[in-house]
Amino acid sequence: MLTRRAFLASSLALSAQPSRPNLIVILADDMGYGDIGCYGSPDVPTPHIDSLAKNGTRFTDAYVSCAVCSPSRVALLTGRYQHRFGHEFNSGPIEREAEVNFGLTATAKIIPQYLKSEGYRSMAVGKWHLGVRPGYHPQERGFDEFFGFLTGGNAFITQQTPTGRAIGAGGDGGRIPAKRADPIRRGNEPVEESRYLTDAFGDEAVKFIDRNKANPFFLYLAPNAIHTPLHALEKYIDRVAGIKNEKHRFLAAMTVALDDNVGAVLAKLKEVNLDKRTMVVFLSDNGCPVVTGAGANGPLNGEKATYYEGGIRVPFIIQWLGRVPAGKVYRKPVVSRDVLPTFLAASNIQVTAKFDGVNLLPFLSNNATPHEALFWRAGKARAVRKGKWKLLEFGDLLANLFDLESDLGERNDLSAKHPEVVKDLRADWKKWSDEMAQPAWPPRFREITVNGARLNWEL
**CA atoms of 236 and 232, how far apart (whole Å):** 7
Alpha helices in 291-418 (DSSP H): 309-312, 339-346
Q: Mean pLDDT, the chain, as a whole number? A: 92
Check whether residue 271 and residue 182 sit in a common domain. Answer: yes
Amino acid in position 159: Q
What's the pLDDT band for 216 if we cut at 50, 70, 90?
very high
**Mean pLDDT along residues 165-190:** 86
1 within a domain of the structure (yes/no): no
Mean pLDDT of 431-440: 97
Output the domain CATH number for residue 436: 3.30.1120.10
Which is more confidently placed, 221 or 453? 221
Please tell me the distance from the alpha carbon of residue 139 to that of residue 220, in angstroms, as a whole number.
Answer: 13
State the total domains in the chain. 2
Please check whether residues 145 and 215 belong to one and the same domain. yes
Same domain as 226, residue 192: yes
Q: How far apart are CA 310 and CA 316, in angstroms?
A: 14
Domain that holds residue 225: 18-365
Report yes or no: 176 and 164 within 8 Å, Cβ to Cβ.
yes
For residue 158, what pLDDT is reported?
Answer: 94
The pLDDT of residue 175 is 85
Decide: helix, strand or coil at residue 7: helix
Distance of CA 74 to the CA centre of its chain: 10
Query: Does one domain contain both 189 and 244?
Result: yes
**Hey, is 27 helix, strand or coil?**
strand
The domain boundary residue, chosen from 331, 365, 399: 365
- Name the amino acid, one letter, at 161: T
Is residue 145 domain-resident? yes
Dist. CA 444–CA 305, nearest whole Å: 11
Could you tell me the pTM of the whole model? 0.94
Distance set, CA 234 to CA 46, 155, 170, 440 (Å): 18, 16, 20, 43
196 and 244 share one domain? yes
Residue 421 has pLDDT above 90, yes or no: yes
Is residue 360 located within the same domain as residue 378?
A: no
Sign of the alpha-carbon torsion through 55, 211, 155, 441 = positive
In a domain, 221, yes or no: yes
Domain boundary, last residue among 338, 365, 392: 365
Instruction: Read off the pLDDT of each residue in 51-72 and give the average, rounded to a whole number.
Output: 98
End-to-end CA distance of the chain: 66
Which of 291, 267, 287, 269 lies closest to 278, judged by CA? 269
Residue 8 lies in a domain: no
Does residue 92 have a pLDDT over 90? no
- Region of poorest pLDDT, from 9-18, 79-88, 117-126, 195-204: 9-18
* 421 domain residue, yes or no: yes
Q: Does the pLDDT at position 14 exceed 60? A: no
Q: How confident is the model at residue 97 (pLDDT cuts 50, 70, 90)?
A: low
Q: What is the pLDDT averaged over residues 197-205?
A: 98
* pLDDT higher than 60, residue 310: yes
Residue 243 sits in the same domain as residue 380? no
CA distance 443 to 159: 34
Q: Check whether 377 has a pLDDT greater than 50.
A: yes
Q: What percent of the chain has pLDDT over 70?
A: 92
Supply the DSSP string of 188-254, one letter for each residue: TEEE---S-HHHHHHHHHHHHHHHTTTS-EEEEEE--TTSSSEEEEHHHHGGGTT--SHHHHHHHHH
Contact 247, 167 (CB under 8 A): yes
| 171 & 220 share domain | yes
CA distance 111 to 355: 12
d(CA 195, CA 412): 47
d(C-alpha 371, C-alpha 385), whole Å? 10
Q: What is the mean pLDDT of residues 248-255?
A: 97
**Mean pLDDT over residues 100-107, rounded?**
87
Q: Which of 346, 365, 384 lies at the terminal end of a domain, its last residue? A: 365
CATH number of the domain within which 171 lies: 3.40.720.10
Kindly tell me the burial class for residue 417, based on how many C-beta atoms sit within 10 Å of its own C-beta (0-12, 13-18, 19 or more).
Answer: exposed
Pairing mode, strands 334-335 and 62-63:
parallel
Give the Cα separation of 69 and 193 in Å (integer). Answer: 24
Residue 145: pLDDT over 70: yes
Question: Do 223 and 326 share a domain, yes or no?
Answer: yes
Residue 3 lies in a domain: no
Task: Kindly state the average pLDDT of the residues 288-315.
Answer: 95
* pLDDT mean over 360-376: 95
Mean pLDDT, range 274-282, rounded to an integer:
98
Domain annotation covers residue 77: yes
pLDDT, position 450: 66
Integer Cα distance of 458 and 118 in angstroms: 39
Is the pLDDT at 7 greater than 50, yes or no?
A: no
Considering the domain architecture, whether residues 327 and 442 belong to the same structural domain is answered as no
Any domain includes 12: no
> Quick one: pLDDT at residue 46?
98
DSSP letters spanning 75-100: HHHHSS-GGGGT--S----GGGTTTS
Distance between CA atoms of residues 76 and 107, nearest Å: 16
Q: What is the pLDDT of residues 156-174, one digit of tens each?
A: 999 999 988 998 666 666 7
Percentage of the chain beyond pLDDT 90 is 84
358 shares its domain with 378? no
Q: Does position 12 have pLDDT exceeding 70, yes or no?
A: no
Q: Verify that 356 and 446 share a domain, yes or no.
A: no
* Distance, CA of 65 to CA of 335 (rounded, Å): 7
pLDDT given for residue 388 in this prediction: 98
